A and B are shown apart, each in its own frame.
Chain A
Amino acid sequence: MAELNDYSGPFKPDLSPEDFSKAGLIQWLRAAARIYGGIDQLWHGPLIEELGQEKADELQMKMWFRKGGGCDLEVKSLTQEMDFGGDDVASHLKMYQLLPFMQLFMNIEYDVKDRNYALMTVKRCAALRHYEKTGEMGRLLQLCTGLEQVGFQEGARRFNPNMKVTALKLPPRQSEDDICCQWEFKIED
């Protein structure tokens, strides 16, 4: 049987993921990325309503970065499943390339100078576009300058405790032609 590019055809009782073509699987992964990308906000949003912004933000940080939290979960599950590791900057950046939301909804340039230094430039970001459209600048800043800034550093630390992440450029931006953000990854002796 020909590979499926989608599932518009008849019900297949013994359907398995292998039945899909690569294009079909990437489409499938795209849906998964959107769904996974939203679950954190679905807890954080009602928490803001229930406890206020400050408390909700504090809990969100705890959820991601405490031992056994979301950051550990992402690093451990992705490195195991996709079989990579290492303590250099490139090994760490592989993780961002494998996070489906970052891969499929962002346009990112990776410039690895050597094992100790790299730049990551985000040229297109679906989340930034969303908040620019809705004008929710408070949420945007909380995400980019709060959660993500801590997140990149925490993620890096799990690969190498001496890796330091610095935001070289953060939103808001002046024009849609500007880059979204830029990050420096550096291992210090």
Chain B
Amino acid sequence: MGELQDYSGALKPDLKMADFSKEALISLWSVTGLQYCALDGIWYNLIRERFGEELARELDAEAWRRQTPLEVRWTRQALNIWGNDVEAVMKWLQVDIGSGPVFPEFTCELKSKNVGVMTVKKCRGLDYFERHGETDLMINSCHVVDVEGFKNLARMFNPKMKCTPLKLPPRESPDDIACQWEFRLED
């Protein structure tokens, strides 16, 4: 039997992931990443509706504080990404479930052995905030949760690594980049 490009055919009782083509596996990975971020948003909106912005922000920050170390560890284990330098962080960012599915266009550049820059050109999260006029939520998500999250991420790889946002929303035009982050390992 040929590889499955999707699952429009009959149910296969003994289906294995290996039955799918690479393209189908990539689709499944992308959809899992989108579900991951969307589920967080659904939780956030529910708590905000019921208990207000303050508790929603508090719980969201706590959830990501607890989640980031797991996200780092499981992805590093799965793809065998080790090391404590900037290169290792850049590699991790390229394959993180919170990157590719959420950022349809982004780049990771290794400027030198100790400096790397991630540039997010398109971000589904920012598109959502802009479309719904959720400026406060955008500021909380990008300026508070992400700034803390990326700083923690850098420290998880190496206590001497610092992350600095070079550009954060809001942006002047949808043609502008969404955000840009520098990871620097200090002597």
Interface residue ranges, A against B (CB under 8 Å)? 6-8, 10-13, 15, 17-18, 20-22, 24-36, 38-40, 42-43, 45-47, 50, 59, 62-63, 66, 68-70, 73-74, 77-78, 81-84, 90-91, 93-94, 97-98, 100, 103-104, 109-112
A contact patch SS:
helix
Q: Inside 8 A of A110's CB, which chain B residues have their CB?
A: 11, 13
CA–CA, A10 and B85, complex, Å: 12
Q: Is B17 an interface residue (CB 8 A)?
A: yes
Query: Which residues of the other chain, B, contact A73 by a CB distance below 8 angstroms?
Result: 35, 38-39, 42
* B24 contacts across to A, CB distance below 8 A: 82
Which secondary structure dominates chain B's binding surface? helix
Known: A6-B80, A25-B25, A94-B11. A83 touches B6 (CB 8 A): yes
| Chain B interface residue count, Cβ-Cβ cutoff 8 angstroms | 60
**Contact between A15 and B94 (Cβ–Cβ < 8 Å)?**
yes
Query: Which among B34, B66, B91 is the interface contact of A42 at CB below 8 angstroms?
Result: B66
A26 touching B31 by the CB < 8 A rule?
no
Docked complex: B26-74 residues within 8 A CB-CB of A = 26-36, 38-40, 42-43, 46-47, 50, 55, 59, 62-63, 66-67, 70-71, 74
B-side contacts of A59, CB under 8 Å: 46-47, 50
On whether the beta carbons of B28 and A46 are closer than 8 Å, the reply is: no
Q: Are A112 and B25 in contact (CB under 8 A)?
A: no
Given contacts A8-B79, A84-B8, 18 further A-B contacts (CB under 8 A): A6-B81, A11-B90, A22-B18, A28-B78, A29-B17, A31-B77, A31-B78, A35-B36, A42-B66, A50-B55, A62-B46, A70-B39, A70-B42, A77-B31, A82-B31, A103-B15, A103-B16, A110-B11
